[in-house]
């Protein structure tokens, strides 16, 4: 009992630590990647040194990290923590404080259902690298991701500021427009793999199509993947879908927030980007699967030989594969964020209701026909 609890806590710590670190490092990625894309240098000045003589090597390292702009993330945290926490007189004190916590809590909890690696065999136990093995994991993730929007709506409503309210309303309508396309786009995946359990879904993506193509979601559901990624980007409320924020028009739902409460909204944005990257990886890019690597070992399509790997090596390969894919998607979403301009409100609604939603419906029909045709031969 105690051992199981300790194992669960360990997995929790691994997932939570990974997510928060990815989210935190995104402030660095955001600064540096945008700088490189725009031929700038980016953050390169923030550093501190320790006053003692023995700390010289540490100071050298700190200077180097400051030169890379990594310590800016630390400076952000110090700044946000020491700023005044201001609650407007027209606002509701309790709900105003609750909103950012709601927002960040549900974004973080959604990671519970995402498998980050294959089960690891340790001390005679099989430990799943997944916080909660829920058999309807996909639904749980979607549900939690949409509850998180309530934090945003609440923040806009209770700030006592008209523009914040407008931001909250926009968040609500945007969520309605995209949540449906998001859910419907995944029906195709669920039909094809026949499961809602994310761990099983990832395991089924480990097969090979025609003996050489990994059986990933992107290859069997390309349209679903496109619709999902678009709708999921809209879920994260970042440019080009940052209508709830929209600095030039309305300052956004967090206008009346300062200090760490604002920081939590900021963090939620980044956590949601990690969540969307992890979901895209899990659903469409094989999760922790490495092509041609099965629990038995490496087997390449051009030879019959199997190079065996130990369970631990298999798990490490899985974790590395998952992390690499997630990082690649975070990079890609950041690329989109710094390339595309914001959609106008009517364009956003058009895209959600008139393009993505019908496209997702057609995708379901086509997938159904394909499954009928491929029945018996489908892996």
355 binds another protein (CB under 8 A): yes
- CB of 69 or CB of 118, closer to another protein: 69
List 12, 147, 336, 349, residue binding another protein (CB under 8 A):
336
How near is the Cβ of 36 to another protein at its closest, in Å?
A: 4
CB of 41 to another protein, least distance (A): 4
Is the CB of 27 or the CB of 205 nearer to another protein? Answer: 27
CA-nearest of 216, 268, 219, 228 to 245 is 268
CB closer to another protein out of 102 and 334 = 334
CB 314 within 8 A of CB 212: no
Q: Considering beta carbons, is residue 178 or 262 the nearer one to another protein?
A: 178
Residue in the block written with tokens 């949409």: 146
Beta carbon nearer to another protein, 40 or 125: 40
Is residue 213 at the binding interface for another protein, with CB under 8 A as the rule? no
For residue 240, which of 158, 351, 118, 149 has the smallest C-alpha distance?
351
Report the site for another protein in 38-67 (rule: CB under 8 A). 38-41
Per-residue HEC secondary structure of the chain comes to CHHHHHHHHHHHHHHHHHHHHHHHHHHHHHHHHHHHHCCCCCCCCCCCCCCCHHHHHHHHHHHHHHHHCCCHHHHHHHHHHHCCCCCCCCCCHHHHHHHHHHHHHHHHHHHHHCCCEEEEEECCEEEEECCCCCCCHHHHHHHHHHHHHHHHHHHHHHCCCHHHHHHHHHHHHHHHHHHHHHHHHHHHHHHHHCCCCHHHHHHHCCCEECCCEECCHHHHCHHHHHHHHHHHHHHCCCCCCCCCCCCCCCCCCCCCCCHHHHHHHHHHHHHHHHHHHHHHHHHHCCCCCCCCEECCEECCCCCCCCEECCHHHHHHHHHHHHHHHHHHHHHHHHHHHCCCCCCCHHHHHHHHHHHHHHHHHHHHHHHHHHHHHHCCCCC
Contact call for residue 335 and another protein (CB under 8 A): yes
Binder among 6, 13, 36, 58 for another protein (CB under 8 A)? 36
Give the nearest distance from C-beta 149 to another protein in angstroms: 24
Q: Considering beta carbons, is residue 36 or 312 the nearer one to another protein?
A: 36
State yes or no: residue 346 binds another protein (CB under 8 A): no
Place of tokens 């550093």: 47
Smaller CB distance to another protein: residue 41 or 89?
A: 41
Q: Does 105 bind another protein (CB under 8 A)?
A: no
Contacts (Cβ under 8 Å, ≥6 apart) of 39 = none
Binding mask 232-271 for another protein (x = CB under 8 A): ----------------------------------------
Does residue 374 belong to the site contacting another protein (CB under 8 A)? no
Q: How far is the CB of 78 from another protein (least distance, A)?
A: 24
Q: Does 162 bind another protein (CB under 8 A)?
A: no
Min dist. Cβ of residue 348 to another protein (A) = 12
Cβ of residue 319: shortest distance to another protein, in angstroms? 25
Instruction: Report how many residues bind another protein under the rule CB under 8 A.
Output: 14
Which of 219, 338, 345, 353 touches another protein (CB under 8 A)?
338
Instruction: Read off the tokens for 66.
Output: 């400051």
Measured from the CB atom, the residue of 55 and 340 that comes closer to another protein is: 340
CB of 33 to another protein, least distance (A): 7
Q: Please, what is the minimum distance in Å from the beta carbon of residue 344 to another protein?
A: 13
324 in contact with another protein (CB under 8 A):
no
Among 23, 29, 30, 33, binds another protein (CB under 8 A): 33
Residue pair 363/223 in contact (Cβ under 8 Å)? The answer is yes
Residues in Cβ contact with 20 at an 8 Å cutoff, skipping those fewer than 6 apart: 271
Smallest gap from residue 44 Cβ to another protein (A): 8
- For binding to another protein (CB under 8 A), which residues are involved? 33, 35-41, 335-336, 338-340, 355
């Amino acid at each position: 009992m105690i051992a199981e609890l300790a194992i669960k806590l360990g997995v929790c710590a691994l997932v939570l630590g990974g997510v928060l670190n990815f989210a935190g490092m995104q402030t660095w990625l955001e600064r540096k990647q945008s700088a490189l894309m725009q031929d700038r240098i980016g953050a390169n000045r923030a550093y501190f040194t320790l006053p003692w003589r023995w700390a010289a090597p540490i100071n050298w390292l700190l200077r180097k990290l400051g030169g890379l702009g990594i310590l800016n993330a630390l400076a952000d945290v110090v700044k946000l923590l020491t700023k005044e926490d201001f609650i407007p007189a027209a606002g509701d004190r309790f709900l105003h404080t609750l909103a950012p916590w709601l927002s960040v809590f549900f974004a973080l909890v959604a990671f519970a259902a995402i498998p980050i690696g294959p089960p690891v065999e340790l001390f005679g136990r099989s430990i799943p690298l997944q916080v909660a093995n829920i058999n309807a994991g996909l639904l749980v993730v979607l549900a939690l991701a949409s509850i998180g929007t309530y934090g945003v709506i609440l923040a806009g409503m209770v700030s006592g500021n008209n523009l914040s309210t407008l931001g909250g309303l926009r968040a609500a309508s945007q969520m309605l427009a995209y949540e449906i396309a998001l859910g419907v786009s995944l029906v195709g995946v669920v039909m094809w793999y026949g499961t809602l359990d994310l761990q099983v879904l990832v395991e089924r993506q480990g097969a090979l199509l025609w003996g050489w193509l990994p059986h990933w979601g992107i290859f069997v559901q390309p349209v679903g993947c496109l619709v999902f990624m678009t709708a999921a980007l809209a879920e994260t409320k970042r440019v080009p879908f940052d209508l709830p924020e929209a600095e030039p028009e309305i300052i956004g739902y967090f206008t009346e927030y300062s200090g760490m409460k604002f920081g939590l909204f900021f963090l939620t944005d980044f956590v949601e980007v990690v969540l969307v990257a992890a979901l895209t990886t899990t659903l469409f890019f094989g999760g922790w699967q490495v092509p041609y690597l099965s629990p038995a070992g490496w087997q390449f399509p051009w030879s019959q030989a199997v190079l065996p790997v130990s369970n631990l090596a298999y798990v490490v390969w899985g974790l590395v594969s998952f992390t690499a894919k997630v990082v690649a998607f975070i990079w890609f979403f950041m690329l989109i964020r710094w390339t595309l301009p914001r959609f106008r409100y009517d364009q956003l609604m058009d895209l959600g209701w008139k393009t993505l939603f019908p496209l997702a419906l057609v995708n379901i029909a086509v997938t159904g026909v394909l499954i009928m045709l491929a029945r018996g031969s489908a892996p």
